[in-house]
Chains A and B, each alone.
Chain A
Amino acid sequence: MSLITKYVLISIDEDTLIAGARKVETELKRILEELDLSREIMVVETGTMGIMGKGVVILIQPDDVTYVNVTPEDVREIANEHLLKGRPVKRLEFTGKIDQSVISFRETAQELKKQTRVVLGNSGLINPESIDEYIAVNGYEALGKALTEHKPEEIIDIVKKSGLRGRGGAGFPTGLKWSFTAPLKNKPKYLVCNADEGEPGTFKDRLIMEGDPHKLLEGMAIAAYAIGAEKGFIYIRGEYTLSINRTQKAIEDARKYGLLGQDIFGSGFSFDVEIKKGAGAYVCGEETALINSLEGGRGNPRVKPPFPGVQGLWQQPTVVNNVETLSNVPAIILNGADWYKSIGTEKSSGTKVYTILGHVHNPGLIEVEMGTTLRDIIYKYAGGVKGGKFKCALVGGAAGAFLNEEMLDVRMDYDHLGEYKAVLGSGAILVMNEESCIVDMLRNILFFFKHESCGKCSPCRIGTAQLYMLADKIYSGQGTDEDLDQMLTLSEAMSTTALCALGQSPYLVIHTADKFFKDEIEEHIRRKVCMKDICRMNGAEHK
């Protein structure tokens, strides 16, 4: 056996594939052959490294040098200068600040700062298509421990004590959710992983599945054991081809290793997973709509109660959990509830994965402790605001809230945001600089709700159409003070009468826009001007 001296990790995800990662990889392997280095230097495909919008990203270990925007033409220079002579190619080196979250993964690889890498720890470090690599970093150990050392009730207890809360948006305590379904005697029971990820600006679940699909499967198997389910489904958004393929491969490999299927670890517990592809509707992310869609029908939400935990898929008890939620479970079982509770804040334990986008220098994906301030996320991790001063951030996607400058120091967790009637939601943070117009944004978001309303209940079907019409009036210089008042009252009425959270959500964006940017909206109404020159005032052509 020869000695490997260096690893070249190449990030393969949808962003880097578009940028030509495969071509770079082929070229790299060709040149290493040519230089006769292919036995010493190993090229490894990994998931995301948390750097977005910077083309092909590669990381050279153990030197800890990251290159971005790498093209096939650059490969020879990297090989000659860096790999052969040990001189990093400065021109391509990544110096941005989001690197911090990536650095924190690396530190952990060296047994430091373990806490910040619960979900994304392996992403960018192991080959997501290799079950062996996952097992080499203690993969499936938590499942083994759960099945051989714990009773299902004990698992629920540990998860309850850990304080884990749902990462799909609502933040419902996970252990508590499981405890409703576990004691029910009806069989079969189902575990459904919600990977529909439709919240605008959110793609964390995609990158978790692309980067570390086995962690999700392990979390699912543990959850299934806790609630007594033998069958699981992953409902993946139809557009997520790479996630679907990688997760499918992971399922097949896990079956081959006996980590899914009959009598896992000789414990008598059996569990298998199947992927279902979504067909493009935001509302299908709502758990009861998702269940209807899984059954092959229209994805309309159901009336609750009965809750899915009691009567869900095919009327059987069904637990629905988000990808990130389930991906937290293995680490909790392995390290214990106290360890997990020690991360984050008192009432929101653990980490949160955010996608941070819009007018920032380094858009991307980060995992930080619960309770990190918005200011740190924007300035420390995302490199600060681009193209002007900070105006506001839309936190939580379309179903979220606008936060302005005064709110930069708010700690990002369920309770602190809750104090301001804001939400963490899916973890999307969209930053806007002062060149953006709030009316324009609001109109775009309300168009989204109108378009995605499933039409089942009238408050939302009619309400979302009215809200968009009113916003459009203001956007085109035809708005009146009454229109704004009506938007406020109507969305409030919807928040108490709509059947599902989709129809209840416009309230938050409208009210936070009004609270922080009333002057700007009134300018559009009273003076008929858009100071940013974005809105098409005076009834010019609009959609």
Chain B
Amino acid sequence: MEALKIHIPDNEQYRELGAYIESVRNMPGPLINVLHKAQGIFGYLPMEVQAFISRELDIPLSTVYGVVTFYNFFSMTPRGKYVINVCMGTACYVKGAGKVVDYFKDELKVGEGETTEDNLFTLTTARCFGACGLAPVLMVNEDVYGHVDRKKVTEILKKYRSLG
């Protein structure tokens, strides 16, 4: 088979990932840990990064790709600076999570899974977060917001826009 022609740059980010891979090389089944780390470094997992991991861990690229696409946590497209993740779990759903998504679509003029033109926001939905006491719930990156309504949506967007 023809060798893969993906150019892998040699820079700080790859060196950091390379060092991490060295440190877990002997641990059994390290792939998911490495992917967590790589997404932390790069923000997402483009083909080059996957090819690098495949080469370094000596795991077929198809396997790496198979794992990346299996888990919701991993993304192959760049995300906005702030990822808005609305919980669509049953408990949030009965409390109106569907409407919350609509408010965001309205305000941001993007659909689910899309990123705004200024690369500031990505709108996504997720399964139950396990924070149902606060339904409907959403997360912006690591921050959690509960009891979300239309007013809160506007406030949240305002807050992150002002942070830039």
B147, A197: Cβ atoms under 8 Å? no
A18 touching B134 in the complex, CB below 8 Å, given contacts A279-B74, A295-B29, A297-B63: yes
Q: Which of A421-465 contact B (CB under 8 A)?
A: 430, 432, 436, 441, 444-445, 447-448, 451-452, 454
Counting CB contacts under 8 A, is A281 at the interface? yes
Instruction: State the CA gap A204–B146 with chains docked (Å).
Output: 18
Query: What is the size, in residues, of chain A's interface with B at 8 Å between Cβ atoms?
Result: 55
Q: With A279-B74, A358-B91 known to touch, is A298 a contact of B67 (CB < 8 Å)? A: yes
Which B residues are in CB contact (< 8 Å) with A363? 132-133, 135
A279 touching B71 in the complex, CB below 8 Å, given contacts A201-B90, A294-B29, A296-B32: yes
A14-B144, A18-B144, A53-B133 given; A279·B91 CB < 8 A:
no
> Does B89 contact A200, Cβ atoms closer than 8 Å?
yes
Q: 1/0 per residue B125-161: CB within 8 Å of A?
A: 0111111111100000010111100000000000000
Q: Are B73 and A279 in contact (CB under 8 A)?
A: yes
Given contacts A277-B36, A295-B28, A295-B29, contact A14 B131 (CB under 8 A): yes
Q: Does A206 contact B (CB under 8 A)?
A: yes
Cross-chain contact B90 with A280 (CB below 8 angstroms): no
B129 CB, min distance to chain A CBs, angstroms: 6
* A299 touches B (CB below 8 Å): yes
CB-CB contacts of A239-279 with B at 8 A, as 1s and 0s?
11100000000000000000000000000000000001101
User: Contacts A280-B73, A296-B32: A441 and B134 contacting too (C-beta < 8 A)?
Assistant: no
Query: Shortest Cβ distance from A273 into chain B, in angstroms?
Result: 15
**B-side contacts of A445, CB under 8 Å:** 90
Complex Cα–Cα for A239 and B71 (A):
13
Query: Contact at B73–A238, with CB atoms within 8 Å?
Result: yes
Q: Is the CB of A448 within 8 A of B127?
A: yes
Cα A295 to Cα B31 in complex, Å, equals 8
Could you say which residues of chain A place their CB within 8 Å of the CB of B36? 238, 277, 279
Q: Does B66 contact A (CB under 8 A)?
A: yes
| Extra 6 A-B pairs, beta carbons < 8 Å, given A201-B89, A279-B35, A444-B90 | A53-B135, A53-B147, A279-B74, A296-B29, A296-B30, A394-B90
Interface residues in chain B, defined as those with a beta carbon under 8 Å from any beta carbon in chain A: 28-33, 35-36, 63, 66-67, 70-74, 88-91, 93-95, 112, 126-135, 142, 144-147
Chain A residues in contact with chain B, CB under 8 A?
14-15, 18-19, 52-53, 197-203, 206, 237-241, 276-277, 279-282, 293-300, 314, 355, 357-359, 363-364, 394, 397-398, 430, 432, 436, 441, 444-445, 447-448, 451-452, 454, 543
**Could you show 23 A-B contacts with beta carbons less than 8 Å apart?**
A15-B134, A18-B146, A197-B130, A198-B128, A201-B132, A206-B130, A238-B36, A239-B129, A277-B33, A277-B36, A279-B32, A279-B72, A279-B74, A280-B73, A296-B28, A296-B29, A297-B66, A300-B70, A363-B132, A363-B135, A397-B90, A448-B127, A454-B70
